[in-house]
Structure 1
Amino acid sequence: MSQKPSIPKGTRDFGPEEMAKRNYIFNTIKDVYALYGFQQIETPAMETLHTLMGKYGEEGDKLLFKVLNSGDYLNKVTDEELRGRNPLHLATKLSEKGLRYDLTVPFARYVVMHRDELQMPFKRYQIQPVWRADRPQKGRYREFYQCDADVVGSDSLLNEVELMQIVDTVFSKFGIRVQIKINNRKILTGIAETIGASDKIVDITVAIDKLEKIGIAQVNEELRADGLSEEAITKLQPIISCQGTNEEKLSIISGVLKNSEVGLKGIEETKFILSTLQAVGLKNEIQFDLTLARGLNYYTGAIFEVKALDTPMGSITGGGRYDNLTGIFGMPGLSGVGISFGADRIYDVLNALNLYPTEAVNTTQVLFINFGETEAAYCLPIISKVRQAGIRAELYPDNAKMKKQMAYANAKHIPYVALAGENEINSHKVTLKNMQSGEQSLADVEELIALVANG
């Protein structure tokens, strides 16, 4: 008995309807990126392990999918090494390549390799799958897509402004109401400096990042467990419980950080971004949030996070400013700022809120019924004209029973069915049936095109 086929855990098949929805997401994001002058690149699914290893920390290295060398991959491994069973050491001998873990490190490698060909600032976007050898669980997959956009080679804060406009435009097109949160790594550094705990910045930010989930009392307990003094925790309270408008919160924090040069610089940058966005106008709310603390070992300036307002979901977009993207490959000093849309989470939000446009998920717009050889031959030139007008049309390939052909149209959610029998052929027309209302009308090609196009 043959074994039932399966796919690896943490991966998924996507059927036609799912693909239509995913393409709607990708195409919407691509169109907005292009609208703002970003250019698309792609990098290989595989990178050398020399490129990937050591870029994500020890835990990240363990989550890299390694690709066995071609041919006799054991020829460079001694019996002693095999008996030693050191997985990381063996991986370097058995594999020279791995599947990409994210799009950022391949992008950094791309910039270094193609530096002389690139016009700076370089505005790139990339929508491709990435792979992580993680333990699969709900909402966490081993293969998933990232939708990144970055500007490198420019320190201007206008890039941050533009990325927030992109976020606002994308979610407005999706019809998803979001809240855009903004903070700055320099402000967080200034806070740690001001309360006398500069060496504890990571502990402080990891703890206050959980404020919304666990509450201030539990945050304080975590800070104590991390070794913060009671004096430092007391000084922190008015900062993390700061309320009011963006302007009021910035005013309060400016007073608290008045002796921190780096903190005041972060406030100045945040004020510029917020005031510029206010001048250009956004459809969605942008909020200065002191508890936002993402990727602190990576980001050096503004940090962003986006949450949907009408359905419970984690962050659906994030990003920020970094100062040394290409330093890991020996080309220091190249500043950049980027964002990444979480396509899988956006997919879930659009599903939860039923926001997919009908035309995005319905492939065929009109199905021509096949009554036989003569009728099919009559329909084919009409179908050609209909397709030339940009309308998606198909002819049922077999002269099957009418019930079966109509069931096919219903199963594929095709909104119109065209029928051509002896009477229609004689009058050089077809009968067009609206599958939702049941209404039928006799139409020539131009009338059919107009009726279907106007829906």
Structure 2
Amino acid sequence: MAQKPSIPKGTRDFTPAEMVRRNFIFDTIKGVFQMYGYMPIETPAMENLDTLLGKYGEEGDKLLFKILNSGDFLSKSDAALLAARDSNRITGQISEKGLRYDLTVPFARFVVQHQNEITLPFKRYQIQPVWRADRPQKGRYREFFQCDVDVVGSDGLINEVELIQIVDEVYRKLNIRVVVKLNNRKVLAGIAEIIGEADRMVDITVAIDKLDKIGLDKVNAELHERGLTPEAIDKLQPILALSGSNGEKLQSLSQILSQSPTGLKGVEELTTVLKMVDTLKLHTPVELDLTLARGLNYYTGAIFEVKALDVEIGSITGGGRYDDLTGIFGLKGVSGVGISFGADRIFDVMNQMNLYPDTVTAATQLLFVNFGEKEAAHCLGLATFFRNKGVRTELYPDVAKMKKQMSYADKKGIRFVAMVGEDEINNNKITLKNMVSGEQQTLTPEEALSLIG
């Protein structure tokens, strides 16, 4: 008995109807990126592990998919490590490559490798799949598409503002109500400093980034497990609970962080960005959220997350400023900022809310019935005529009963069926049937074209 086929957990197949919807999302996002002057690049699905490791924090490294070396990958491995089942140390001997975890680190590698071919500031977008060895669940997949937009080689905060504009425009075009959550890693560094745990910023940010997912009590428990003192955890509570308008929060932060130059610099950057955003009168609300930490270690300034307002799902867009990501590859002092749209979560939101326009369809508009060799040869020319006019057109490939061909059209959602027999050939006409109304007319190709629209 043949084995029943399956796909790995956390991955999905997409039908033609689903792909049309996904392409609508990709095309919408891509169109907005291009309007702001961003250009496309692509990078390989796999990167060298030394490119990826150490860039996403301890938890991120655990989620990297590693690729076994080709051939007899155990032949050069240490027998003692194998016998000890030391998987962490043996991995470096049997795996040199891994699937990319995101598009940002490969982009940094790209900038360094191609620094003599690009012009700074360099604005790029990239739409490709990424892979994470995460536990599959609703809205979380092991293979998913990211739509990234980044600019490197510029410190200007106008870039952060433009990214918020891009978010606003994309989701307005997709008809998804969202909120932009904004914070700054310098503010978080200042908070760590004033509670007496400056060396534990990573521990603090990794923990508080989970606040929405696991709640305050569990975050506090994790902070304790990570070695923070009870006094430091107590000092953190009122900061995490700050409320009010963006301006009120910034004012409170200025007082709280008055002894931290780094923290005050973050407050200054947030103030500048929010003032510029306020002048734009965007449709999307932008909220200062001090619990937003984003666990990736390479962020150094502004950090963003975007959440859908009408669907329970994690963030659907996220990103931030990274002052020296290219420095890890030998190119110092190149600051960048970017955001990533999670296409798969956007797809899930739009499916759940049925937000697609009626025009989003890949369905053939016109099907020519195949009555035989002579008629089919004539219809090939007619089909070319309609395709040249922008009508998605098929000629049924086989001579078959009319019922079968009509059933094909019905199942594919084809609205018009053209029947061309000997009389129609002699009179240069087609008999056109509307599959929705059942109405049938004999028309010239030009008249049929105007009716099909």
Cα pair distance change 1:83/1:237, threshold 3 Å:
closer
For 2:189 and 2:55, how far apart are their aligned partners in 1?
Answer: 23
For 1:172 and 1:395, how far apart are their aligned partners in 2?
Answer: 39
Q: Which residue of 1 aligns with 2:93?
A: 93
For 1:170 and 1:94, how far apart are their aligned partners in 2?
Answer: 43
100-109 or 413-422: bigger deviation: 413-422
For 1:231 and 1:81, how far apart are their aligned partners in 2?
Answer: 42
Q: Deviations over 1:178-197 (max 9, x none)?
A: 11111111222233334444
- Number of matched pairs: 453
Indicate conservation of the 8 Å contact 2:57/2:295, yes or no: no
Q: Secondary structure at the match of 2:356?
A: coil
Q: Secondary structure at the match of 2:359?
A: helix
Alignment partner of 1:429 is 2:395: no
Q: Which residue of 2 aligns with 1:18?
A: 18
For 2:416 and 2:16, how far apart are their aligned partners in 1?
Answer: 19
TM-score, normalization: structure 1?
Answer: 0.89
CA positional deviation for 1:387: 0.8
For 1:66 and 1:273, how far apart are their aligned partners in 2?
Answer: 39
CA positional deviation for 1:446: 2.6
Q: Which runs of 5+ in 1 are unaligned?
A: none
Alignment partner of 1:420 is 2:420: yes
Q: Which residue of 2 aligns with 1:290?
A: 290
209-218 or 66-75: bigger deviation: 209-218
CA positional deviation for 1:452: 2.5
Q: Secondary structure at the match of 1:116?
A: coil
94-103 or 299-308: bigger deviation: 94-103
TM-score, normalization: structure 2?
Answer: 0.89
- 5 Å-filtered alignment, 1:37-186, equals 37-57=37-57, 59-77=59-77, 79-80=79-80, 82-186=82-186
State, as a whole percentage, how many aligned pairs show the same letter: 64
Q: Which residue of 2 aligns with 1:331?
A: 331
Q: Deviations over 1:94-150 (max 9, x none)?
A: 333332232222222211111111111111111112233444444433322222111
Q: Which residue of 2 aligns with 1:449?
A: 449
Q: Deviations over 1:56-99 (max 9, x none)?
A: 44554444333343344444346555434433443333333332
Q: Secondary structure at the match of 2:9?
A: coil
Q: Which residue of 1 aligns with 2:190?
A: 190
177-186 or 424-433: bigger deviation: 424-433
Q: Secondary structure at the match of 1:297?
A: coil
Q: Which residue of 1 aligns with 2:384?
A: 384
Q: Which residue of 2 aligns with 1:279?
A: 279
For 1:362 and 1:126, how far apart are their aligned partners in 2?
Answer: 24
Q: Which residue of 2 aligns with 1:312?
A: 312
Indicate conservation of the 8 Å contact 2:183/2:303, yes or no: yes
Cα pair distance change 1:92/1:179, threshold 3 Å:
same
For 1:235 and 1:58, how far apart are their aligned partners in 2?
Answer: 26
Which residue identity lines up with residue 244 of structure 2 in the other structure? G
For 1:67 and 1:42, how far apart are their aligned partners in 2?
Answer: 20
Q: Secondary structure at the match of 1:154?
A: coil
For 2:381 and 2:409, how far apart are their aligned partners in 1?
Answer: 21
Which residue identity lines up with residue 435 of structure 1 in the other structure? M
Which residue identity lines up with residue 186 of structure 1 in the other structure? K
Q: Which runs of 5+ in 2 are unaligned?
A: none
Cα pair distance change 1:445/1:276, threshold 3 Å:
farther
Indicate conservation of the 8 Å contact 2:56/2:298, yes or no: no
Indicate conservation of the 8 Å contact 2:177/2:309, yes or no: yes
For 2:370 and 2:96, how far apart are their aligned partners in 1?
Answer: 56
CA positional deviation for 1:451: 2.7
Q: Which residue of 2 aligns with 1:357?
A: 357
CA positional deviation for 1:304: 0.5
CA positional deviation for 1:204: 4.5
Indicate conservation of the 8 Å contact 2:419/2:430, yes or no: yes
Cα pair distance change 1:43/1:228, threshold 3 Å:
closer
184-193 or 205-214: bigger deviation: 205-214
Indicate conservation of the 8 Å contact 1:366/1:416, yes or no: yes
For 2:452 and 2:378, how far apart are their aligned partners in 1?
Answer: 19
CA positional deviation for 1:351: 0.3
Indicate conservation of the 8 Å contact 1:362/1:413, yes or no: no
Cα pair distance change 1:8/1:419, threshold 3 Å:
same
Indicate conservation of the 8 Å contact 1:185/1:296, yes or no: no
Cα pair distance change 1:217/1:63, threshold 3 Å:
closer
For 1:124 and 1:321, how far apart are their aligned partners in 2?
Answer: 15
Alignment partner of 1:263 is 2:263: yes
Cα pair distance change 1:176/1:260, threshold 3 Å:
same
CA positional deviation for 1:24: 1.8
For 1:191 and 1:241, how far apart are their aligned partners in 2?
Answer: 13
Which residue identity lines up with residue 436 of structure 2 in the other structure? Q
Q: Which residue of 2 aligns with 1:8?
A: 8
Indicate conservation of the 8 Å contact 1:149/1:340, yes or no: yes
Indicate conservation of the 8 Å contact 2:56/2:297, yes or no: no
